[in-house]
Structure 1
Amino acid sequence: MNKDPYGQLASALYSSVGKHTRQAIGGVGAVLGTITGTGLKLDDFKHEFQDFMVAELPGVLSVPSSVLTGTTMLEERSVGENKQEPSSNETKIEDSRLSLTLKPGDRVLAVRVNGGNDVVVVCKVVTGNG
């Protein structure tokens, strides 16, 4: 019983291409991880990354206007309610940056880049019901 050599070749090529495609796509996309004392442990990778990047978001910080109310103290005795209501207009701070402060145990969302060789932590992740 001779098997079809072309069918065997097609089957081998199909298997090989599928394997390479899974490997290529496996290094792409977002994944959850945990910050450790010495690095980053991704949920889908058994080794810890000790050299990883953290996203920094540059931009303009806008602080909304606010009104301050309260009591005043003079020589340790209450003088009464402050009748003044100081207010401030919206303030924009140019060249500000939002940087993540992470500590061991924090859950994070990370993205693999450079073919899966590097990892960038995008943000800290918390539960939605807390």
Structure 2
Amino acid sequence: MNKDPYGQLASALYSSVGKHAKLALGGAGAVLGTMTGTGLKLDDFKHELQDYMVAELPGLFSVPRFMMSGTTAQVEQPDWDHKQMDTSFYFDKNEVKDVSLKLVLQPGDRVLVLRVNGGNDAVVICKVVSGHG
């Protein structure tokens, strides 16, 4: 029986490319996990990870002009007799450079984890919460 050599080559290449693609993408992508007291437990991996990274967002913190209401108290003047006064506090627009937003995670927190370096490293991107309140 004489088989088509081009068909055999195409079939071999298709199989090989498919295997390489699975290896390259295997372990990559995002997954949900849970913070534990000693590390990170991914939903699709049975072992806890102690060696993981957490995303940090450096940048510029910008605050618009705003007003807050509050109460002031003068306690150093004897004639005030510990009286209080309602007042408004005005804050001007401001920018703070070199600010870094760091995730504060507690055991039990659900997190979104991105696998990188072919699935060898895990990076916690953010905490996730229910959309129902």
TM score, norm. by length of structure 2: 0.77
Please state how far the C-alpha of 1:12 moved relative to its aligned partner: 6.0
Cα deviation per residue 1:7-38 (whole Å; 9 max; x = unaligned)?
77765664454333223212221111111111
| Code of the aligned partner of 1:111 | L
Output the CA distance in 2 between the equivalents of 1:15 and 1:50: 36
Output the CA distance in 2 between the equivalents of 1:97 and 1:78: 40
Distance 1:94 1:69, change over 3 A: same
Q: Aligned-pair RMSD on alpha carbons?
A: 2.7
Q: Within the alignment, does 1:102 sit opposite 2:105 as a pair?
A: yes
Please state how far the C-alpha of 1:59 moved relative to its aligned partner: 0.3
Unaligned runs of 5+ in 1: none
Which deviates further from its counterpart, 96-105 or 58-67? 58-67
Alignment match of 1:128 (pick from 118, 127, 131): 131
Count, aligned residues: 128
Give the secondary-structure state (helix, strand or coil) at the position aligned to 2:107.
coil
Task: Name the residue aligned to 1:115.
Answer: 118
Task: Name the residue aligned to 1:47.
Answer: 47
TM score, norm. by length of structure 1: 0.79
Unaligned runs of 5+ in 2: none
